[in-house]
Amino acid sequence: MGEILKLENVSYTYGAGTPFEKTAVKDINLTFNSGDFVAIIGHTGSGKSTLVQHFNALLPPTSGTVYINGEDINQSAATRRAARFACGLVFQYPEYQLFEETVFLDIAYGPKNMGLSEIEVKRRVLAAAEAVGIDALTLEKSPFDLSGGQKRRVAIAGIIAMEPEILVLDEPMAGLDPKGRDEILDMIKNYHDKHKTTIILVTHSMEDAARMANRIVVMCDSSVLLDGTPGEIFARHDLLTKSGLDVPQITSVLIELKNRGYDVDTSVYTIEGAKEQLMKLRGKLC
């Protein structure tokens, strides 16, 4: 697995030179490998949303360099544009960006901007619609007539249709009910399994991060606080709670059991993992 996206000493300051000056990301060094599924977590204001806007050159770093496939993406207008297509970014509440008359046309907006042929655009729209579970009938509807969950899928399809090498999703589950969350998460997981696209998921839910990613980056106060596998991250629950993040309830249960003197592994973060452990422990104790 090769390096696909690399950030070198990236810092970003809003409103430099005004009384509202604020450093949103500070000296970030990160490398993402091709095919990875990474979750970036942090509380609101930790800088995670600002950080991801550097991945596709929407924000040029105040200092530092961003590379995609070894190329500095901020060299010229052309490289910046190329980065938009190489690294697709789905914003928070993406359904608010829908504007076209039909779902088909809306999904086609990105591919059309890439200057692709009509046939290719059509192929991509259909493929993207299928990936997010939008049927042919819906493609002809107005996006404004859809339900909230469907709108969000359409918006995600709009980015997927650009067939980016890296897909970044900023809080794609925000505001959805448990079923809606699961559907979106499953959809992303399936897409990753099928296409091996590098996925970067921004979230403040530790549960979702743990379920989906093979690597978690924790942001706090504009910097990277922790970086590792879910197990490694949950082992540092003290740091996580201190930075305003919630560990999954099941992890809290295991931590409390450990405090009560039981020999449990507190880096477990799924019900299945906890179940297995508790059954084994009971076998030992009884």
Partner 1 sequence: MEKVIRTEKLTFTYSAEEARSFALRKVSLDIEKGTFVAVLGHNGSGKSTFAKHLNGILLPSEGKVYSFGFDTSDPENLINIRRNVGMVFQNPDNQLVATVVEEDVAFAPENMGVPSDEIRSRVDDVLKTVGMEKFKKHAPHMLSGGQKQRIAIAGILAMEPNVLVMDEPTAMLDPVGRKEVMATIHRLNKEKGITVILITHHMDEAAQADRIVVINAGQVTHDGTPREVFAHRKELLDIGLAVPQTVEILDELGLKDVALSVDECCDILEKYLKG
Partner 2 sequence: MLKDITLGQFFPGNTFMHKLDPRVKLVVCFVFIIVLFITENLAAYALAALFIILGVKVSKTSPKMLLKSLKPIMFLVLFTSILNIFYIEGEVLVRFWILKVTKEGLMTAFYMTSRIIMLVCATSLLMYTTSPISLTDALEHLLAPLNKVKFPVHEFSMMMTIAMRFIPTLIEETDKIMAAQKARGADFESGNIFARAKALIPILVPLFVSSFRRADELATAMECRLYQGGEGRTRLNVLKLTKYDYVFMVFSAISFVLMILLNVVGI
Torsion of Cα atoms, 229 then 63 then 69 then 36, to 10°:
20
CB 80 within 8 A of CB 73: yes
Torsion of Cα atoms, 4 then 84 then 65 then 227, to 10°:
-50
Q: Which does 127 bind (CB under 5 to 8 A by kind): partner 2, partner 1, none?
A: none
| Residue 81 interacts with partner 2 (CB under 8 A): yes or no | yes
Which two three-digit tokens encode residue 236? Answer: 């540092």
| Residue 260 interacts with partner 1 (CB under 8 A): yes or no | yes
Which two three-digit tokens encode residue 80? Answer: 């910046």
Which residue has 């992303």 as its token pair? 188
Q: How far apart are CA 41 and CA 212, in angstroms?
A: 12
CB 93 within 8 A of CB 130: no
Q: Which does 246 bind (CB under 5 to 8 A by kind): partner 2, partner 1, none?
A: partner 1
| Residue 262 interacts with partner 2 (CB under 8 A): yes or no | no
Of 127, 174, 226, 239, the one binding partner 1 by CB under 8 A: 174
| Residue 94 interacts with partner 2 (CB under 8 A): yes or no | yes
Which residue has 């709009």 as its token pair? 158
| Residue 15 interacts with partner 2 (CB under 8 A): yes or no | yes
| Residue 133 interacts with partner 1 (CB under 8 A): yes or no | no
Q: Could you tell me how many residues of this chain bind partner 2 (CB under 8 A)?
A: 29
Residues that bind partner 1 (CB under 8 A): 43-45, 147-149, 174-180, 204-205, 244-246, 248-250, 252-253, 256-257, 260, 262, 271, 274-275, 278-279, 281-282, 285-286
Residues that bind partner 2 (CB under 8 A): 14-15, 18, 20, 22, 53, 56, 58, 77, 81, 84-85, 88-91, 94, 96-99, 109-110, 113-114, 144, 158-159, 162
